[in-house]
Amino acid sequence: MATACERRIVPSVILRVARSRIKDGHDVDVLDVVRQLTSQFGAIPGLRSARFGRAVQAEGWSLIAVTEWESLAAIQAVYGDGWAESTLLPGVEEFILETTVEHFEGTLEDVTAIVEAHVSEVAG
């Protein structure tokens, strides 16, 4: 019988973290492309979720995307041979100075319900 800790391990989920530095004056252009493309996310096989954020730093704006995938094979099917280095989203390349991409194996089940229950308890 599996322990509680063993049951919470979810090795098949892959988190993809892409961070891109944006050319000066093009943060709005990048966000416009992201908004247009996110309407198509339901059609991407293997993509479970996507979150985006932007930050201003001394060297300018950057955009981060954290996506959750069913498997590494699903990422490879979407991004092809360049899956490990591919840019954030197609259509933003002309506005990007550099991109770094990292992939992580998910280690825990989704804890959203646990966090929301705790917030409700504290608030109520």
Distance between CA 25 and CA 17 in Å, rounded?
A: 23
Domains and CATH numbers, the chain: 9-123 (3.30.70.100)
pLDDT tens per residue across span 22-36: 999 998 999 998 888
Strands annotated E in 8-93: 14-22, 47-57, 60-69
Alpha-carbon dihedral 70, 72, 77, 79, rounded to 10 degrees: 110
How many percent of the chain have pLDDT more than 70? 85
Residue 87 confidence class, pLDDT cut points 50, 70, 90: low
Residue 12 confidence class, pLDDT cut points 50, 70, 90: low
Strands annotated E in 70-117: 96-105
Query: What tokens does 11 get?
Result: 């090795």
- What's the whole-model pTM score? 0.74
Residue 5 has pLDDT above 50, yes or no: no
